[in-house]
Amino acid sequence: MHVRTRFAPSPTGYLHVGGARTALFNYLFARKHDGTFVLRVEDTDQARNTDEARAAIFDGMSWLGLDWDEGEGKGGDFGPYNQSQRTAHYDKWFDVLKQKDRVYEDDGAWRFRFERKPITMTDLVCGEVTIDYTNLDNTPDMVVRRSDGSYVFHFVNVVDDLEMQITHVIRGEDHLMNTPKHLQLFEAFGVEPPQYAHIPLILNADGSKMSKRDTGAAVGDYSRQGYLPEGVVNFLALLGWNPKTDEEVFTLAELVDRFSLENVNRSPARFDLEKCAWLNQQHLLKLSPDDFAAAAKPFVEAAGLPITDRYPAAAAAVREKVRLLPEVPAALDFLLLDEIAIEDEPLAKVKNNAAAKELLAALAESFAGIQNWSADTAKQAIGETAQANGAKPGQLMFPTRVALSGKAGGPDLGDILAILGKDESVKRLRSFAEKL
RNA sequence: GACCCGUUCGUCUAGUGGUUAGGACUCCAGAUUUUCAUUCUGGCAACAGGGGUUCGACUCCCCUACGGGUUGCCA
């Protein structure tokens, strides 16, 4: 069997992380089985559809790296892939229902007559679930065609899945109770239904239902906030699915290799940005220095910092210090700026050390005398200067760091010295010593 | 209200009758790095509650509580 999955969002807002995860699981399952991943846009709600929302779907999917095989921009043999263009298909299948006397008119709309019997589905994640359709309380005959002639979600969704030959429907658990309705439709059409897998929903950090406006709800926010798509994909995959090993850091390709619906759990997961940030850092560390510098550049520019020729080295020096790209500007600003600000706390610490002023002044002269400037020769000078003044090298490291960066933490001191160069280092040392 | 699904450290999770209940994030402490970060080691921290079944339940059954979902001429 050739596996065909689909992601079928409606363009009524931005791309939601819950939707993105649904898309991811469909993508992983299709790729895992060398199948086809279809992107279908369910734009039947004319009143709420917007072009921005359409674009957000494609942009979000592309950013995450979830490339689809059929749909927008790709074509395919089962189009059109926008429901708004498929009316003729729906009319055709609606006639089938009519001919079989499975629909009846009600106030101008058409309702589908459910068979009144228990419907059991075998869900790939939830197992067997039975809904009793003899209980009319929860299962009134559903409208499939509105009085204005348009068709409702349940109907078009089933017709599309059937015509597009979808074999596996992986969707959010909010659709679990819809599935018997869809099964009844398939049965009425005389068509074998696809297999279903309902994945648990994503909740807010406090356990409440995640909806629009909630932190982290929009996929587009992640790129703006400096997350890597690999980090977000990795995080989303681990929400409700697990590889049954202690490994956690995976690329998209590795996820494809390990993915299985059997390892999807059934309980909803909360959204913990802390772990997402950590995963992001793990993926940041996998980047080459050049790729890292390129990825961080927009954030450095946005912070108003000049991209000088020191930038590539500066970016490389802070690569291991950040979890998120927006942290980069503050981490390397002193390497790009001519005038640096000395932070209060480290300054106070240095002032506590009575010998600091003399030590730093002596170090400046020692630096000035170095012929072949490098991280090693500079660090050697620190050691010698400290010793000559009866201090330990470690005692001089911190004041030097503060003099050069204005901060208590940051890149390796050797890196800082090498990037700044001899003249700039001497200059900063002298000017700082004078302030003490 | 009715119906459906769920409930293991704060969070993500492993665990399918007998385990010192494991890992990861966060936090804390040590080590290493002559500095910072990384890294390493260690620590804190969980089976929602009550009944059964069983020699023995986190694991099976029932009830309760809590959470989520569905119950639209939204998708």
What pLDDT, on the 0 to 100 scale, is given for residue A320?
84
Q: Which residue is nearest to nucleotide B33 (CA to C1')?
A: A412
The token duo for A415 is 């890196």
Fold observed for domain A344-435: Arc Repressor Mutant, subunit A (1.10.10)
The token duo for A301 is 């520019």
Instruction: Determine the nucleotide nearest to A249 by Cα–C1' distance.
Output: B24
Whose CA is closest to A266, among A171, A179, A173?
A173
Instruction: Determine the nucleotide nearest to A146 by Cα–C1' distance.
Output: B73
Phi, psi dihedral angles at A190 (to 5 degrees): 75, 30
What's the Å distance between residue A173 CA and nucleotide B50 C1'? 30
Cα distance between residue A213 and residue A120, in whole Å: 37
On whether the CB atoms of residues A90 and A84 are closer than 8 A, the answer is no
Cα distance between residue A82 and residue A214, in whole Å: 28
Pick the CATH number of A86-199 from 3.40.50.1110, 3.20.20.140, 3.40.605.10, 3.40.50.620: 3.40.50.620
The token duo for A61 is 């999917």
What pLDDT, on the 0 to 100 scale, is given for residue A279?
92
Name the residue ranges covered by the structural domains of chain A. Answer: 86-199, 219-285, 287-336, 344-435
What's the Å distance between residue A223 CA and nucleotide B8 C1'? 34
Q: Which strand B nucleotides have any atom less than 7 A from protein CB atoms? A: 1-8, 10-15, 23-26, 34-38, 67-75
Torsion of CA A145, A43, A239, A38, to 10 degrees: 100
Cα distance between residue A284 and residue A255, in whole Å: 18
A212 is in an annotated binding site: yes
What pLDDT, on the 0 to 100 scale, is given for residue A211?
66
At A320, is the secondary structure helix, strand, or coil? helix
Instruction: Determine the nucleotide nearest to A375 by Cα–C1' distance.
Output: B35
What pLDDT, on the 0 to 100 scale, is given for residue A212?
61
Q: pTM score, two decimals?
A: 0.91
Instruction: Determine the nucleotide nearest to A106 by Cα–C1' distance.
Output: B73
Q: Which residues have CB under 8 Å from A74's CB, separation 6+?
A: A39, A68
Whose CA is closest to A8, among A64, A72, A51?
A72
Phi, psi dihedral angles at A241 (to 5 degrees): -135, 150
Which parts of chain A have pLDDT scores under 50?
A: none
What's the Å distance between residue A231 CA and nucleotide B15 C1'? 27
Q: Which residue is nearest to nucleotide B6 (CA to C1')?
A: A267
The CATH homologous superfamily of the domain defined by A219-285: Glutamyl-trna Synthetase; Domain 2 (1.10.1160.10)
What's the Å distance between residue A207 CA and nucleotide B51 C1'? 29
ipTM: 0.91
What's the Å distance between residue A24 CA and nucleotide B35 C1'? 43
Count the Cβ atoms, other than its own, within 10 Å of residue A307: 14
Cα distance between residue A266 and residue A95, in whole Å: 38
Cα distance between residue A233 and residue A361, in whole Å: 51
Cα distance between residue A56 and residue A272, in whole Å: 23
At A111, is the secondary structure helix, strand, or coil? strand
The token duo for A256 is 């494809």
What pLDDT, on the 0 to 100 scale, is given for residue A273?
86
Q: Please, is A73 exposed, middle or buried when counting C-beta atoms within 10 Å of its C-beta (0-12, 13-18, 19+)?
A: exposed
On whether the CB atoms of residues A399 and A359 are closer than 8 A, the answer is yes
